[in-house]
Chains A and B, each alone.
Chain A
Amino acid sequence: MSQSTKNILRVFFSLCVLILVVDVFVPRTHSHFVWENWYGFYGAYGFFSCVVLVYIAKYGLRPIVMRDEETDE
């Protein structure tokens, strides 16, 4: 991994931490549901939904639908 990639990753991880710090201070005024007020709800939801998404697509969907590029079924 090149140095610039490492720097980008560092900035990115810092942002992830920073947003959790900001999350403490932002008042919830426009929530529709209770769980929107929970600390870090959106982060957790985004993270886990993407993990679930990738696992289902990779291990659930791909074995069923993937074919060779040239097949014409």
Chain B
Amino acid sequence: MSALHPSIFLLLGACLALLPRGIFRHLLVLASPVVAMSCAWQLGEIKLIASLGGFLDLQLMAPTVWNRPFAVIFCSVAFLGLLFARPLDRRDEDCAALVYAAAAVGAVLAGDLFTFYCAWEVLALSATVLVFGGRNGKSRRAAFRYLIYHIAGGLLLLMGILWRLSAGYDATIGPISLDSPGAWLIFFGIGINCAWPLVHTWLTDAYPEASVSGVLFLSAFTTKTAVYALLVFFPGVKLLIVIGTLMAAFPIFFAVIENDLRRVLAYSLINQVGFMVVGVGIGTELALNGAVCHAITDLVFKGLLFMTVGACLYRTGYATATDLGGLAKMMPVSAVCCIVGAASISAFPGFSGFVSKSMITSAAGSGDHPYTFVWLVLIFASAGVFHHAGIKIPFFAFFGHDSGHKVQEVPKTMQAAMIASAVLCVVFGCFPDSTVYTLLPFANEYHPYTADHILAQTELLLYSALAFTLMLLAGVYPAEIRSKNLDFDYLLGKAIGGVGYLMDQGLNGLNRLGDAVFLRWIPKRVAHFFSHAPARVSAYLIRIFYTLRGEPEERIQETQQRAYHRFQKNALPVGQSALYAIVVLGILAVLKYG
């Protein structure tokens, strides 16, 4: 048993990553996730509590059956990603990646909401640094958009936590019922990190812009930490079934027509997370086991797929289907690893996806009230993911038309990372009972290798592949076009523009109205009143006075006009002014002393 927090070693590694370049730095960077993993592996029941002067106890580490598997696998994929990143030799990115891993491990191991929140924010910041790592204008803009989304998500989470605390709930990590605004805020805050539909665009926007190695860490930690959070906070919330089903289905359509292969993988990442969210929503032991299991296998095979596409990008400078193809002869190791990753994500029997994804579909179909529609969508999504990730990625990167690149296989360390991931995929797939199934929170009674399940899955995939082949041969399959596909963020941009327009029209209109009424019309009337009233009054007085005296009409009018002009121009003779002043003073004196 260990009472050491694994993140300590990851953070130490992050500091050591900034040492001068050399073999020493490489070894230290690789050693830190290994030590952290052995630490995570030995976690027992011991909690690590930091007392802040008696008013708040932070449970920095509270190991449970839920977070231990996540901590272990996070450290493992951090190691694999860093191994893959060795030839790039980027100190800033190694540092950010290790901080990111430390934050992810810190978030899943947290025992109270405050610790969880702090780790959550570090997660967002370090991930932004990794998106910046693409080192071009596109990645810089994407990183800012990424940060905006995650700051919004983090603030929702913080508001939710504070709301709950002020309502008297305690801060320990545990199931939250969706009965107060605070709970809903936490729910949606996590949802943003989980890439729920409509707020998923940060993922497909940012991940393909990161560097060859940065995307490995990005694809691993943020969404899986969110899945973990849903697992511990909201297990069995039925709304998650709806959200997860949508997530599993809609990205497939975008992935089919996407040209950038890393963006295809980003869409399939949402699709796989959708399966996990459905598992959390169903909430039975089998479903929750399935969600954890699929998170573990997905971390490995999705990392592997990003590595193989990254290998193409590293060697050719392209990750787009139109610019790749025919690389299998020059990069055989990458090609084989890519096929293993593709077989795993597609859940071919013998590969890791097969033992984990089927737990969730099986959970959707079993019980007294099976989720028939959800089950049908999940099977459709399984066929669809094979179609776009399973076939499209290897086919357009390594086979298909010859792109004319003359390249070598990637360096040995990159190969080692890919091979290690591929071996893990096969081992998880072939021997689940002694590997992944031992990490699950509940005792496992699910057996994936039954004759009818193997047959059903193989038949499903073979005939999906047949559809792909026939459509490709018939020329129906959408040709790869150099293009960019809009997503919901386009609508969001339009919506923000629309809000701006309304604000402009509404608030500026109000401003213009106020200006016209209070600054122009009213002062004008007031000025008019004061400049004309005395003249009018005097004209009336003159008419009455002269009429009484029996003066002729012309004389009356002439005197009126003269008086009028004098009043308007303030050109009254001094004597008259003095007379009026004395009259007014006299009236005042009478009023005061009379």
Any chain A CB within 8 A of the CB of B464?
A: yes
CA distance A28 to B453 in the complex (A): 9
The count of residues in chain A whose C-beta lies closer than 8 Å to any C-beta of chain B is 47
Across the interface, name the chain B residue whose C-beta is closest to A58.
B478
* B466 A47 Cβ-Cβ under 8 A: yes
Complex interface: chain A residues within 8 A of B460 (CB)? 42-43, 45-46
Does B471 have its Cβ within 8 Å of any Cβ on chain A? yes
**Is chain A's binding surface mostly helix, strand, loop or mixed?**
helix
Judged by DSSP, the binding face of B is: helix
The residues of A that contact B252 with a CB separation of less than 8 Å are 53, 57
- Complex Cα distance A18/B452, Å? 15
Q: Is A30 a contact of B486 with CB atoms below 8 Å?
A: no
Q: Are B484 and A47 in contact (CB under 8 A)?
A: no
| B591: Cβ under 8 A from any A Cβ | no
**A27 vs chain B, min Cβ distance (A):** 7
Q: Return A14 CB to nearest CB of chain B, in Å.
A: 11
**How does the 8 Å CB contact mask read for B437-474 relative to A, with 1 for contact and 0 for none?**
00000000000001111011111111111111101000
B429 CB within 8 Å of chain A: no
Whether the pair B459, A66 counts as a contact (CB closer than 8 A) is no
From residue 22 to 47 of chain A, which have CB atoms closer than 8 A to chain B?
A: 22-23, 26-33, 36, 40, 42-47
User: Do B469 and A12 touch across chains, with their CB atoms under 8 A apart?
Assistant: yes
Chain A, residue nearest B377 (CB): A49
Judge whether A66 and B257 touch: CB under 8 Å: yes
Decide if A53 touches B375 in the complex (CB within 8 Å): no
Q: Residues of B within 8 Å of A, CB-based: how many?
A: 48
- The reply to whether A69 and B463 contact each other, CB–CB distance below 8 Å, is no
Q: Which residue of A lies closest to B399 (CB)?
A: A5
**Is the pair B466, A16 in contact by a Cβ cutoff of 8 Å?**
yes
Separation of A15 and B465 alpha carbons in the complex (Å): 11
From B383, B455, B478, give the contact of A26 (CB < 8 A): B455
Q: Are A54 and B476 in contact (CB under 8 A)?
A: yes
Known A-B contacts A16-B463, A49-B380; A73 and B493 likewise in contact (beta carbons under 8 Å): yes
Asked whether B455 lies within 8 Å of A22 as measured between CB atoms, the reply is: yes
A28: chain B residues at CB < 8 Å are 452
Asked if B365 is at the interface (CB within 8 A of a chain A CB), the reply is yes
The answer to whether A53 touches B384 (Cβ under 8 A) is yes
Residue of A nearest to B481 (CB): A66
Q: Min CB distance, B279 to chain A, in Å?
A: 16
Which chain B residues border A31 with CB–CB below 8 Å?
A: 452
Distance of A69 Cα from B482 Cα, bound (Å) = 6
20 new A-B contacts, CB < 8 A, other than A31-B452, A42-B460, A54-B471, are: A16-B462, A20-B459, A22-B455, A29-B452, A32-B362, A32-B375, A42-B457, A45-B379, A46-B461, A46-B462, A51-B467, A57-B252, A58-B256, A65-B257, A65-B487, A66-B257, A66-B481, A68-B483, A69-B482, A73-B486
6 closest A-B pairs by CB? A32-B365, A50-B467, A43-B463, A57-B256, A46-B460, A47-B463
Interface residues, chain B, with chain A CB atoms under 8 Å away: 252-254, 256-257, 362, 365-366, 370, 372, 375, 379-380, 383-384, 387, 450-453, 455-469, 471, 476-478, 481-487, 490, 493
